[in-house]
Amino acid sequence: MCLNFVQGGICYATGRKCLLGARGATVTNETVECKLHGRFDVWVMQDDGLLVTDLGFPSDEPKQCLALGINKELATKIAGEKARQSGRAVQTTKRKCLRCQKEFWMSEHAGFSYAAQTARAYFCPLCIQQETEDSVARKLGELGYWCG
């Protein structure tokens, strides 16, 4: 079921009628049948800040969910409107590339090899494609090791 579908045919994320009508109750976010679906979530955090993320459930316990599995544009719009209404700050899980300094979202990456999986958090998709497996591992250094 769509994570934002509410009984009565309402979209929790927009507060309006579901774009897919009654079928919205059976559609999942993963199928991306609705044009609003995507990889982004919007959360109100315990510190009253707003978080737009493409990384799934936040590590700090959130206070309230505003939307799950929506596209970046809608997530940004929801967070911006809520920030204006409440005076809360908006944070994101955007990253800055260690190579080119460009900001990127983790969800912009496609499948990569083992070392590149870790590198996704530090290099944008364009820079990872220009690196070899060995050069990525060298540049990550200690960052490339999983501590768990």
Which run of H or E residues covers position 104?
strand 103-104
Give the pLDDT confidence score for residue 147 in this predicted structure: 44
pLDDT tens-digit map of 41-78: 999 998 889 999 999 888 888 999 999 999 999 999 99
* Predicted pLDDT of residue 90: 97
The answer to whether 13 touches 36, Cβ cutoff 8 Å, is yes
Give 87-143 pLDDT, tens digit per residue: 999 999 999 998 899 999 988 887 654 445 677 888 898 887 776 666 666 666 655
* 3-state DSSP helix/strand/coil % of the chain, to nearest 5: 35, 25, 45
Which region, left, alpha or beta, applies to residue 62 given φ > 0 means left and ψ of -120 to 50 means alpha?
Answer: beta
Which domain, by its residues, includes 18? 5-92
Give SS3 for 12: coil
Q: Is 84 in the same domain as 101?
A: no
20 shares its domain with 77: yes
Count: domains in the chain: 2
